[in-house]
Amino acid sequence: MKRFRTISNFKKRVLIVDDEDINRQILGNMLSETYDVDFACDGKEAWERLNEDGSDYSLILSDLLMPVMDGFELIEKVKADPVLKAVPIIVITSDKESEVRSIKLGAADFIKKPFGMPDVILARCERIIELYEDNTIIRSAEKDHVTGLYTRDLFFEYVRQIEVHQKTLDMDCLVFNIDHFHLVNEMYGRETGDAILKKVADTITEVMEEHASLACRTEGDSFYLYCEHQEKYEALMDRITEMVGSDQGPAKIRLRAGVYQDADLSLDPETMFDRAKLACDRIKGDYTVTVAYYNKELYQKAIYQEHLIENIDQSIEDEDFKVYFQPKYDITGDTPKLRSAEALIRWNHPELGMISPGEFIPLFESNGLIQKVDNFVWNKAASCIREWKDKYGYSVPVSVNVSRIDIFDSKLEEKLQNILKNNGITEKDLMLEITESAYSDNADSLTEVANRLRDRGFMIEMDDFGSGYSSLNMITTLPIDVLKLDMKFVRNMEKDEKSLKLVELIIGIAGFLDVPVVAEGVETESQLLKLKKMGCQVIQGYYFSRPVPASEFEEFIKKECV
């Protein structure tokens, strides 16, 4: 920074304020080669110059004893002004008592009368300007420009200092987050979004005024709070939510908080707040809870999940992931006939044993790693289809899952085409299952991708149909070839009249659209017969078989070849 100051071609402006002309001339001669110098004969004239349009002074040198407005009053007015207070003031005086008073009022330094060596005075002016410029830069860097709270880095530095000097305090770490804040910016504009962020920051500061606390804004719509321990935070959260929501107009927002209580001060601040964030993320999308507390169970779950994330690549390479197949049978004739299969992933972890898909699939969907699993399944399924064709001369189409992450992959079609080419199979052999949640995320994009895939010859299956609110709207806009009836309806249809009616309704709608229905989760002959009577064409479930490895699935193919 100093090097840039030295080589700059522009001169900074200095204002000299003194009622004696000779003093103004002497100081002006000392400083004029280095600075652009302006003059005022008293505090009133100086104040007028300071408030002129375009005035941008880097330093004020002011006498104290002047008519109209003295130097003391000038210092007070400058330091009370929100803009001018950043301009340093050097007092010109020979009165030591006045020196002390002026320093207390906010003066940065003083120069004694009569004036001493010019080089010393110039050096002191340069040093004061440099110090104030550095302080201004530091102050601007330490505060978030939208909320006025500390920036993340400075916040953590202050937390470290508190840990060093206040080791006996019990402290809590809180993370606040605004749900779906990006929608506020999109719907109401960034100005409204910034106003909401400022309101949240001001409210947190206000409600924590009586407590020893420190706050910052981080990651756009998240806030960190480090404060003295409290037993419960629900009442505090309710108060913050009420105050924030009182004047936001149509832009309604929801705040949630994660709390790490009695923080372990031997941990670094980043780790402590990661624990609070972990609790905050746990209630994302849960509108029944606003505060979540970090605990040992949550920590163990986080460690477990992190272990799974770290192991995914090695497990794919070592083929710890296994692809199982569950047969689907056509029941329209007198004898059920093998029609196709669904590929399902299993993970036989070398340390943890068999891991339920219900544990790792949602985890990998949340962080995008599901693409790696899906690609593994697609390649293994295609390889088995090819092997069965070569071994038995029998074609078994296999359904594979296409997650919502895959849908937005620009190389999805290229990947699928390469898999078909490498295994010598066709689009009819590899059917693509899409879940309703992918439609809910982005209906237009999913429809566009599904149309392109169907144009290439792929069959699109809608998995878990009926499990979400958008089902009926979905089948009117999304190009699909097969509806898969959610298994919860099948399981309940013999004991719940509503579930039975819904199954009849869905099969009726599918018939109207001329789309076959696959019923999942069929376990009894009674269920099969009821579904067949309703017009369901294809059955999948434990009645025929659980999901089995490829080698066991071959037994179903052999029976068809007899």
422 and 497 share one domain: yes
The CATH number of the domain where 281 resides is what?
Answer: 3.30.70.270
Torsion of CA 371, 376, 382, 386, to 10 degrees: 170
423 and 548 share one domain: yes
90 and 236 share one domain: no
**Per residue in 365-376, pLDDT tens?**
888 899 999 999
- Axis-axis angle for helices 71-80, 96-105 (nearest 10): 20
525 and 432 share one domain: yes
**Per residue in 321-330, pLDDT tens?**
999 999 999 9
**Per residue in 387-400, pLDDT tens?**
999 999 999 999 99
Question: Of 142, 167, 194, which marks where a domain is finished?
Answer: 142
Residue 315 lies in a domain: no
Residue 310 lies in a domain: no
Of 248, 249, 204, 245, nearest to 222 (Cα)?
A: 204
Question: Of 142, 163, 194, which marks where a domain is finished?
Answer: 142
393 and 470 share one domain: yes
Rounded Cα distance between 297 and 260, Å, is 13
137 and 227 share one domain: no
Q: Could you list the residue range(s) of the whole structural domain that residue 160 is in?
A: 152-294
Residue 562 lies in a domain: no
The CATH number of the domain where 465 resides is what?
Answer: 3.20.20.450
Question: Of 108, 142, 176, which marks where a domain is finished?
Answer: 142
Residue 318 lies in a domain: no
* Radius of gyration for the alpha carbons in the chain, expressed in angstroms and rounded: 36
Task: Please give the chain's pLDDT, 562 residues, in tens.
Answer: 343 333 344 678 899 999 999 988 998 888 888 888 999 999 999 999 998 876 678 899 999 889 999 989 999 999 998 878 888 998 888 777 787 788 888 888 888 888 878 888 888 898 888 887 766 655 555 677 788 888 888 888 888 887 776 667 789 999 999 887 877 777 778 788 888 888 888 888 888 888 888 899 887 789 999 999 988 899 888 888 888 776 655 557 788 999 999 888 888 899 999 999 989 988 887 778 889 999 878 778 878 888 899 999 999 999 999 999 999 999 999 899 999 999 999 999 999 999 999 889 988 988 889 999 999 999 999 999 999 999 999 999 999 999 888 888 889 999 999 999 999 999 999 999 987 666 655 677 788 888 899 999 999 998 877 655 445 666 667 788 898 888 888 888 888 888 888 889 888 888 888 889 999 999 999 999 999 999 999 999 999 999 999 999 999 999 988 6
544 and 490 share one domain: yes
**CA 535 vs CA 331, 333, 514, 529: distances in Å:** 10, 12, 12, 10
259 and 126 share one domain: no
Rounded Cα distance between 312 and 445, Å, is 28
Rounded Cα distance between 150 and 234, Å, is 25
137 and 242 share one domain: no
228 and 283 share one domain: yes
The CATH number of the domain where 12 resides is what?
Answer: 3.40.50.2300
374 and 230 share one domain: no
Domain count within the chain? 3
Place of tokens 């299952």: 433
Rounded Cα distance between 523 and 88, Å, is 83
The reply to whether omega before 362 is within 30° of 0 (cis) is no
Residue 536 lies in a domain: yes
277 and 382 share one domain: no
> What is the side-by-side order of every strand in the sheet holding 89-93?
36-40, 13-17, 57-63, 89-93, 109-112
